Structure 1
Amino acid sequence: MKINWGTGIVIAIIAFMSFIMFMVVTMITDKKYDHDLVTEKYYQKELAYQKNIDAIKNVKELKEAIRTEKTPLGLKIFFPSSFNLNEIKGKVFLYRPSNKQLDFEMPISITDTYLLVPEKNLLEGRWNMDISFTYNTKEYLFQKELIY
């Protein structure tokens, strides 16, 4: 059987369309390609963004920076030494961009000179950390990307 150029074009178009359909079905059904929004209430958070900008500015104006340290016990978060640690009120939110089931939030309760995020809560990989707290009626927001 001899295939002329018109039949070859039709076969090429059908093969291309089949490949595209295969890729579309694979992307829709495979869990490996399933990505969620980073945060749930995205639009409500966007409306309060100026408040966050001011809180981030307050963190940058601190004389001593907030720092983190990875230890065998977990992640230690050190606040400025000039702060009275008992007066810090707020929360630490760690979220994993690749899997929202691993996200967690914990209140700031400092027993020593640092806040400890237990190692059992942190899997290896990339984390985004938001520490939002108030000290002397001033709001602060510290954001950092971590590789744990």
Structure 2
Amino acid sequence: MTHSFRKARETDLIDIIRLLADDDIGQGREFVTDPIDQRYQTAFAAIDADENQLLVVAVDQKDHVIGCLQLSFIPGLSRTGTWRGQIESVRIAREARGSGLGTAFIEWAVETCRARGCKIVQLTSDKSRTDSIRFYEKLGFTASHEGLKRSL
């Protein structure tokens, strides 16, 4: 499968939302509607305008969206002012899973973080996504911290 990675466009938004909703967890928290829910459009505009945010899609040779992820570049004081790259919202279309696209996409994201001066790349995955966690561990990520969230 031939693919490439590029910055997401507003016209990709519906495909990204569909990818985010394409599992049991996503179905419970995402809304695939026509027209697109305004909250997604507002979020996309904020991400697109922020130089420390990068929403990326993987596309096939016909420019169809087959994957997505978001990179956040986070400045910090700890570790002598180290920048971190945060990888979130990683999804690969069902038909592209097992093709090596996920590995290529994560490695591309890591290299993009390195090029931006990040010294750490981090990500989170829902504890119930055991296959995803194994996948990330195979790529060198370690469960070094305990993450906590609080819904507001």
TM-score, scaled to structure 2? 0.25
Larger radius of gyration: 1
TM-score, scaled to structure 1? 0.25
